[in-house]
Structure formats: C-alpha cells, structure tokens
Amino acid sequence: MAKMLKDSLKTIESYKAVSPHYEEILDILEEVLILREKHRQAVTEIIFPVDERLVPEKVKGGLPLIDFATADFDIEKPKAYFLDLLSIAEKRAPGETRELAQRIEKGEVDFKEMVLDAFFGPYTEEDQEEAEGDESQDAFDLIDMFLEECLRPALERVVQKYGEAVTRYGWSEGYCPICGKEPKIGEIKDEEGKRYLFCNQCGIEWPYKRIKCPFCGNEEQQTLAYFTVEDDERYRVDVCNECRRYIKIIDFRHTKEEADLDVEDITTIHLDILASEEGYE
C-alpha cells in the first residue's frame, strides 16, 4: 500500500506540472491520500457485516455484499478519519468547519446518520446548514467529498477480503459489487480492450461490457456514443442517449501508463463540465 501511495503522489506532482489549474484540488487530494494510508493501517478488522455464506448468491443475483440500508456497523473509525479530513478544510478556511467538528465530537450531530444520508443521496445545502450553520461553498464541497471518503479505508478491507470472490462468481452489474455505488469513471485495459468500472467509494474495479450503459442497461449501439476532447483519445466520455447518463473512461494502453483512477477522476473535471453542458448527468 505504501508503494501505491508513493506512486499516486508522484502522479499528482506530474499533473501539477502540466495542469496548474488543477493544483489546488490536487494539493487537497495529496493530503487526503496521505491521511487515507494512515487510517487504512488503523482499520485492522472488517466493520461492515458480510455473510460469507451468501456471497455467491448475492454476486450472481446482482446484490452488493454490503446493504447499507440495514447494515449495523461501528462508525468510530470512519468518524476519526472524517475529523482528520476536516483539518484539511480548516487550514484553507479557518473556523468554517470547527463548529461541525466540535458538534460531532460532543455527539450533538448524529455522524452515522450524516454519513448514510450522504451515501444514499446528495448531502444538500439545506442539510449542511442545519448541521453546522452557514459556511462557504468551498467548505461545503469539501465536506461532501470527505463524507464519501471517510468510509474508504474500511471499505477497502472488504474489497481485500471479497474482491476475488466477486470476480470468481461473475459480477455483471453497472454498480459496485461491494457497496452498490454507481461509478463515475472507468478504464479500458488488457489486450482485448475490456472496459472496467471503478468505485470511488471503496476502490474496487470490475469488468463491464463495452457496449452497454452501466446505469440503465441499454445495449442498443445506435443510442450509445462517446466523445473526446482536443483529439486526446486517452480520455473519453461514454454517453447513453436513452437515460442521458455518462461515465468518463481512461485508455492508457498505447502509452503503457498505469491509470490511477482516484487522481484521474480529479484531473478530468473538465469532462464532467462538458458532459453536463451537453445535457448528460
């Protein structure tokens, strides 16, 4: 894992050099990845309940291994990680997250409910104001990001234990086999040019048909398309004209680079903007 962190930090530095407009968000990602490694090492046990007897049936039946709607899990390690993450926002906007951190530490805010609300849907500005009062949009965006991130080290433990089983039993859905989140990014790799989807929530990758929308299952080739930007075919956006959804796809096969999809998701924000401008969600 330490090598992965080192490689990620090296990739971030290279992107800062060629894309200075991403420097601020890449600085934040750098700090997040360092904290993630620290908290990953602190998670020694799986905190999310997974019934091993049901793993084959769940995978074959298209059910994620973790059911967050009913899961009873210990929130203490994700909470500790989230409070550490808030320090990143606090350095950039002193005082704007301090009250939230204090209220969580005192138990005045139900942190588990806060995380689950963010997991099942957008953490709205109304929710934000109710929890910690008026804050800048920058702080709000980081808190939203950190609520997703705080589960990552614990979910990676589930991936480590059950990732091979997911592959073995043939997961074929467009959402994450571990936590059920929809992907935002994926990549083309292998000599056969297979498409893999990536879950930002837990870090797992899984193979998925190239000519199929991961969101609605549409396989009609005439309603599936993609676009690239500035003739750089390493980056493209796969779109579905049935459900009007999109996913970013990285193809580094010709350059022999190793894609770091956590970093690539950040450095392709311009693709999200373009897709939105074209009417895709």
Q: pLDDT tens, 229-262? A: 877 889 999 999 999 999 999 999 988 888 999 9
Residues 50 and 149 in one domain: yes
249, part of any domain: yes
- Assign residue 48 a region (left: φ > 0; alpha: ψ between -120 and 50; beta: otherwise): beta
Residues 146 and 203 in one domain: no
2, part of any domain: no
For residue 254, the model assigns a pLDDT of: 87
- Mean local confidence (pLDDT), 46-51: 92
Domain boundary (153, 173, 197) is at 153
DSSP assignment of 235-257 equals EEEEEETTT--EEEEEE-TTTTP
Residues 149 and 188 in one domain: no
30, part of any domain: no
Q: For the chain, give the percent of residues with pLDDT over 70.
A: 92
How many distinct structural domains can be found in the chain?
2
Residues 142 and 189 in one domain: no
Residues 120 and 198 in one domain: no
Residues 225 and 269 in one domain: yes
**This prediction's pTM:** 0.91
Domain that holds residue 125: 43-153
Residues 58 and 234: their CA atoms lie apart, in Å, by 35
For residue 47, what pLDDT band results from cuts at 50, 70 and 90? very high
Residues 76 and 141 in one domain: yes
- Assign residue 276 a region (left: φ > 0; alpha: ψ between -120 and 50; beta: otherwise): alpha
For residue 126, what pLDDT band results from cuts at 50, 70 and 90? low
For residue 15, the model assigns a pLDDT of: 94
- Mean local confidence (pLDDT), 148-164: 96
User: Residue type for 238, please?
Assistant: D
* Residue 164 clears pLDDT 90, i.e. is over it: yes
Residues 108 and 210 in one domain: no
**Contact status, residue 138 vs residue 93, Cβ threshold 8 Å:** yes
Domain boundary (113, 132, 153) is at 153
* Residue 199 clears pLDDT 50, i.e. is over it: yes
Residues 149 and 47 in one domain: yes
* Residue 40 clears pLDDT 90, i.e. is over it: yes
28, part of any domain: no
Dihedral (C-alpha) 74, 80, 81, 84: value to the nearest 10 degrees? 170
For residue 177, what pLDDT band results from cuts at 50, 70 and 90? very high
* Residue 17 clears pLDDT 70, i.e. is over it: yes
For residue 157, what pLDDT band results from cuts at 50, 70 and 90? very high
- Mean local confidence (pLDDT), 197-222: 97
70, part of any domain: yes
Tell me the residue ranges of DSSP E strands in 85-244: 185-189, 194-198, 205-208, 224-229, 232-240
- Mean local confidence (pLDDT), 194-216: 97
